[in-house]
Chains A and B, each alone.
Chain A
C-alpha cells in the first residue's frame, strides 16, 4: 500500500495546485513535499521492521489483456532512491521561491516527483516505461517555460535524444515480453526469466538497446552531448531535478532493468560499457578543467562522477554496487548543493563566469563555509559522503580490473584540481575586483538559502562519518541480485 501513497500523493497535490493561485501555492507545495518526506521515513521504519512486509508492495491489474499490472514494491535499492527523491524535493522547492506562474511550476514539479517515485518502485516493465516517459514531460516544460537563452532548441534536443533512447528500450522490452510464456506478462520476474533464456545474440541486442536508453539519461560518454547545454540553460530547479534525481533513473535502470534481464548480453558487452564510462570520466574531467562558466563546470563534473558510478555498477560486484548506490545518494545531495550555489552566485552578480568574480569570502563568510563543505564532498575528501562512495566504487573497479581503477581514480584527482581551482578563483583572492556589474556588495545567505544549504552540508558530513545505515539498507537486495546473476551466468 505504501508505494501507492508515495506515488499518488504528489500527483493529487500537483493537480490541486492548478486551481490555486499566487503565493500560497509555494507554501503548500513545500508542505506536501515534507509530508512525502515523512511518508518515506515511515517506509524506512517499516522496511527496518520487516523488509518483506506486504505494506511495501501493491499489485493491481491494469491492462489485463496485455498482461500489464500496476505493481509497485519497495526493496532496499528502491528505498534508497525514494528517500533521495523525497529528501531533495523539499530542498529544491525551497530554493525556488520566486518563480513566475507558480501554480504551473509547482504542478509540474509535483507531477515529476510522482513519476520519479513510480520509476523507482515499479516492478512491471510496462509501468516502468510509462513512468519513465511521464517524467520527461514535466521536466521538458519546466526547462521550456522557465529556462534561459536559446532554451527551445536546447530542451528539444534533450527531449528528442532521451525519447530516442526510450523508444529503443520499449522495443527491447516488447521483444522480451513476447518471449514470456502463456498469455505474456510484463512482470519483472517473468521478464527476467524470459530474458535469461534468450540466445546470446538476442540478449546482446537487447542489452545494447536498453543500455543506450540508460546511457543517454545518465549520461555516459559518447551519449552526453545534450547534457552540458541543457544543464546550463535550464532553470536552476530544472537542473537540480535533472542532475540530482533524474540521472539516477538511468543508474537505477542498469541495476534493476538491464543487467539481471539479459545476463549473457551483459557478460558480452559489460566490459565495453565500463570502458565507455571510464573514458567519460577522463574526458569530462579534462573538459571541466578548462571551463570558465561555473554551471558548465559542474555539468562536466557531473558527467565524470556519473561515469564512475556506472563503471562501478557495471562491475557488478558487492563493493561496486554498494558504492554505486551510496554514491547515487551522495551525488544527488552534492550536485543539488553545487547548482544552488551556482544559482546564488549568478543571481547576485549577474554572471557565472568565474574569472569575473573573486574574493567573495570577505563579504559572505557563511556562504563560503557551506560552499567549502559541499565542495569537499564533491572531491571525495575523507569524512565526507563522497569519499565513502568513491572509495567503494574504486574498490569495486579494482577487483574487476586494476588498470580501469587507475583511470577511474582520475575523477578524484582531476576533480580536486578543478573544484579547488574554481573555489580559489571565486571565493579567495582580493575582494573588490569584481568586474561584473552589481557585484559590489555581495550579500550573505538569507534564511531560506541557509535552510537549503545547511541540511545538505550536515548530511554530507554525517554520511561521511557514519554511512552504515544506508549501506545496510541496500546490502540484502544487492546480495540477492548478485546471487541471481551468478546462477544465470554459466
Chain B
C-alpha cells in the first residue's frame, strides 16, 4: 500500500522544509551559548516546535512528495503523521522537563542534542533508501548516548551511557553489515527497487537472507524487541528520568516507524521468510516485559519493563501488514507516548518530592496531590488498556489486527500480558489511593507540601484529558494515515 504511493511520488520535487527546519532549530540552540540568548531559548524552541507542527499540517494535502535528490526520502502521510506526533511529544516533553534543563550547566548542548535526535527521528519516518536508514539511526542514537550520560557525577548514568554506546554501536554495525549484504544481493539501496527485485527478478537468495537477518537484529535492538532488549532496562533506568522519557517515547517510536517502513516498503514480499522469526520475538517480548515488570519494586524499573512489553504490541503491525496497520502503529504510538510521558513525569515529580522511587513513594498521593494522582491513574489505566481511555482502543486495534490475520495464539498471549500488566500497574494505583503517607518519610519531610508549578499542573492535566478524549473519539487518529 505504501509502496504504491511511493511510485507516484517522484513526480514533483520540493525543498526539504521539515528537515531544514528542525536542523535549523538545533543549530540555533547551539548558537545560543555563543551569542548569549540562552534565556530566550526555551521560548524559541517551543515556538519552533509549534512551527514544525504547522508546517506538517500545511504540507498534508501535498503529500506524498520526494525530498533530498532522487528519492532518498519521501514525505507521505505516514511521515507527516509521525512528525506531528514527534513534535507534539517533544513539545510536551520540553514543557514538562524544564527542571532537567534548568539544573544542567551546559544547557544549550542538551537542547541541541535533543533536537538533533529529532532530526534523526524525522529521517527515520521518511527514508526510502537504506543509506538514509543508517544515517537516521545514527543521528538519532548518538545524541542519546550523550544525553544518557549527561549526569556526570552519577555512576548509574555513566553506566547507562557506556552500555548504550557499546551495545548501540554493536547493533549499528550489524545493521550496516546487513545493509551491505542486501546491497550485494540486490545491487541497490533503494527500498522500492529492492521490493521489485525480490518480487520479480532473480537475485542471490542466501546473501539476501543473511543480510535480512542482520538487519532484523539491528532494528530489533533499536526497537528493544526481545531477545535484543537486554540493554533497555539498564539504560532507561540509569539515565536521568527526564531523558528516559524522551528515549521511551520519541526514540522508541522512531525505531518502530523505521522498522515498519522497512518491511512495508521493501521486504514485505519475503514475509514467509521472516514471519515466524518476528512472531517469536513479539511473543517473547510480551512475556519478558510483563514478567520482569511484575518482579520490580522500583517503579521506574517497572515502567521501563512495561515499556519493553509495549514494544511487543507496537511490533504487531510489523507482523500483520494490511491496509490499517500503519494506522494501528500510529494510534498505538500516540497513546503509548502520552501515557509514558505522563507516568514517567509523575514518577520524576514524586521522586523529587520524596527522594524515593519505590511503590511506597506513591502512598497517599491521592491525598497529598489529587491532580498528580489523577494524572497517574489515567496514564496507568491507559497503559493497562482499560476502556474508555485511549490505551484500550490502541490495544483493541492491535488485537483485531492480529486476529484478522488469524494469530489467535499471539492474541491470547497479548491478553495474558495485559492481565499481568494490570497487576503491576495497579500496585501503584492502590498505593496512591489507600495508604496515607510513605512510610519511609521522616515527619519533617512529610509536612513539606507537595505543590506543583502552574506549568506542570496545566500541561499534565490537559495531556491526561487528551488521553481520555482520544479514547472517546478515536476515529480521527485511527484513520489519519490512510483515509
Shortest Cβ distance from residue A139 to the other chain B in the assembled complex, whole angstroms: 13
| Nearest chain A residue, comparing its CB with the CB of B434 | A152
A221 to B399, CA, bound (A): 30
Does B387 belong to the interface (CB within 8 Å)? yes
Shortest Cβ distance from residue B263 to the other chain A in the assembled complex, whole angstroms: 23
Residues of B near A167 (CB, < 8 A) are: 415, 418-419
A54 to B400, CA, bound (A): 33
Fill in one digit per residue for A57-72: 1 if any B CB lies within 8 Å of its CB, else 0. Answer: 0000011111000000
Known contacts: A141-B433, A159-B426. The answer to whether A134 contacts B475 by CB under 8 A is no
CB contact between B474 and one of A63, A144, A156, A175 (< 8 Å): that residue:
A63
A145 to B474, CA, bound (A): 31
Does A164 belong to the interface (CB within 8 Å)? yes
A164 to B415, CA, bound (A): 8
A156 to B396, CA, bound (A): 23
Does B98 belong to the interface (CB within 8 Å)? no
- Chain B residues 400 to 428 lying within 8 A of chain A, measured CB to CB, are 400, 403-404, 411-412, 415, 418-419, 422-423, 426
Does A458 belong to the interface (CB within 8 Å)? no
A145 to B381, CA, bound (A): 17
A181 to B316, CA, bound (A): 25
Does A433 belong to the interface (CB within 8 Å)? no
CB contact between A134 and one of B387, B404, B426 (< 8 Å): that residue:
B387
Shortest Cβ distance from residue B429 to the other chain A in the assembled complex, whole angstroms: 8
Does B256 belong to the interface (CB within 8 Å)? no
CB contact between A133 and one of B324, B387, B400 (< 8 Å): that residue:
B387
Fill in one digit per residue for B384-396: 1 if any A CB lies within 8 Å of its CB, else 0. Answer: 0011100010001
B403 near A178 with CB under 8 A, answer: yes
A62 near B403 with CB under 8 A, answer: no
Does A295 belong to the interface (CB within 8 Å)? no
Residues of B near A66 (CB, < 8 A) are: 400, 478
B392 near A65 with CB under 8 A, answer: no
B433 near A145 with CB under 8 A, answer: yes
Residues of B near A168 (CB, < 8 A) are: 415
A171 near B387 with CB under 8 A, answer: no
Residues of A near B324 (CB, < 8 A) are: 65
A174 near B419 with CB under 8 A, answer: no
Does A2 belong to the interface (CB within 8 Å)? no
CB contact between A171 and one of B403, B419, B433 (< 8 Å): that residue:
B403
Does B452 belong to the interface (CB within 8 Å)? no
Known contacts: A130-B388, A144-B433, A144-B434. The answer to whether A156 contacts B426 by CB under 8 A is yes
Fill in one digit per residue for A129-140: 1 if any B CB lies within 8 Å of its CB, else 0. Answer: 110011011000
Residues of B near A163 (CB, < 8 A) are: 386, 419, 422
A64 to B411, CA, bound (A): 23
Does A160 belong to the interface (CB within 8 Å)? yes
Known contacts: A151-B434, A170-B399, A171-B412. The answer to whether A160 contacts B422 by CB under 8 A is yes
Shortest Cβ distance from residue A470 to the other chain B in the assembled complex, whole angstroms: 32
Shortest Cβ distance from residue B288 to the other chain A in the assembled complex, whole angstroms: 21
A156 near B399 with CB under 8 A, answer: no
B411 near A171 with CB under 8 A, answer: yes
Residues of B near A133 (CB, < 8 A) are: 386-388, 392
CB contact between A175 and one of B381, B403, B434 (< 8 Å): that residue:
B403
A160 near B399 with CB under 8 A, answer: no
- Chain A residues 152 to 199 lying within 8 A of chain B, measured CB to CB, are 152, 156, 159-160, 163-164, 167-168, 170-171, 174-175, 177-178
Residues of B near A171 (CB, < 8 A) are: 399, 403, 411-412, 415
A159 to B418, CA, bound (A): 13
Chain A interface residue count, CB cutoff 8 Å, equals 29
A174 near B400 with CB under 8 A, answer: yes
A164 to B475, CA, bound (A): 27
Residues of A near B381 (CB, < 8 A) are: 137
A164 near B433 with CB under 8 A, answer: no
Shortest Cβ distance from residue B312 to the other chain A in the assembled complex, whole angstroms: 16
Shortest Cβ distance from residue B405 to the other chain A in the assembled complex, whole angstroms: 10
Residues of B near A136 (CB, < 8 A) are: 386
Known contacts: A63-B478, A65-B475, A129-B387. The answer to whether A152 contacts B399 by CB under 8 A is no
Shortest Cβ distance from residue B308 to the other chain A in the assembled complex, whole angstroms: 21
Known contacts: A62-B475, A130-B388, A174-B400. The answer to whether A156 contacts B411 by CB under 8 A is no
A178 to B404, CA, bound (A): 7
Fill in one digit per residue for B345-387: 1 if any A CB lies within 8 Å of its CB, else 0. Answer: 0000000000000000000000000000000000001000011
Known contacts: A141-B433, A159-B422. The answer to whether A65 contacts B478 by CB under 8 A is yes
Shortest Cβ distance from residue A204 to the other chain B in the assembled complex, whole angstroms: 15
Shortest Cβ distance from residue B474 to the other chain A in the assembled complex, whole angstroms: 6
A66 to B474, CA, bound (A): 10
| Nearest chain A residue, comparing its CB with the CB of B397 | A66
B433 near A156 with CB under 8 A, answer: no
CB contact between A65 and one of B418, B422, B479 (< 8 Å): that residue:
B479
| Nearest chain A residue, comparing its CB with the CB of B402 | A174
Known contacts: A152-B434, A174-B403. The answer to whether A160 contacts B386 by CB under 8 A is no
- Chain A residues 110 to 149 lying within 8 A of chain B, measured CB to CB, are 129-130, 133-134, 136-137, 141, 144-145
A156 near B430 with CB under 8 A, answer: yes
| Nearest chain A residue, comparing its CB with the CB of B411 | A171
Residues of B near A145 (CB, < 8 A) are: 433-434
B475 near A63 with CB under 8 A, answer: yes
Residues of B near A178 (CB, < 8 A) are: 400, 403-404
Which residue among A129, A133, A171, A175 has the maximum number of chain B CB atoms within 10 Å of its CB?
A: A171
A151 to B433, CA, bound (A): 11
A160 near B433 with CB under 8 A, answer: no
Residues of A near B411 (CB, < 8 A) are: 171
Shortest Cβ distance from residue A464 to the other chain B in the assembled complex, whole angstroms: 40
Shortest Cβ distance from residue A420 to the other chain B in the assembled complex, whole angstroms: 39
A171 to B407, CA, bound (A): 12
Shortest Cβ distance from residue A170 to the other chain B in the assembled complex, whole angstroms: 7
| Nearest chain B residue, comparing its CB with the CB of A61 | B475
Nearest 7 CB-CB pairings of A with B: A133-B387, A152-B430, A130-B387, A167-B415, A65-B479, A63-B475, A174-B400
- A residues with CB within 8 A of B: 62-66, 129-130, 133-134, 136-137, 141, 144-145, 151-152, 156, 159-160, 163-164, 167-168, 170-171, 174-175, 177-178
Q: List 20 A-B contacts (CB under 8 A).
A: A62-B475, A63-B475, A66-B478, A130-B387, A133-B386, A133-B388, A134-B387, A134-B388, A136-B386, A144-B433, A145-B434, A152-B430, A163-B386, A167-B415, A167-B418, A168-B415, A171-B399, A171-B412, A174-B399, A177-B400
- 6 further A-B pairs in the complex, CB-CB below 8 A; given A66-B400, A164-B419, A171-B412: A137-B386, A145-B434, A159-B422, A163-B419, A167-B419, A171-B415
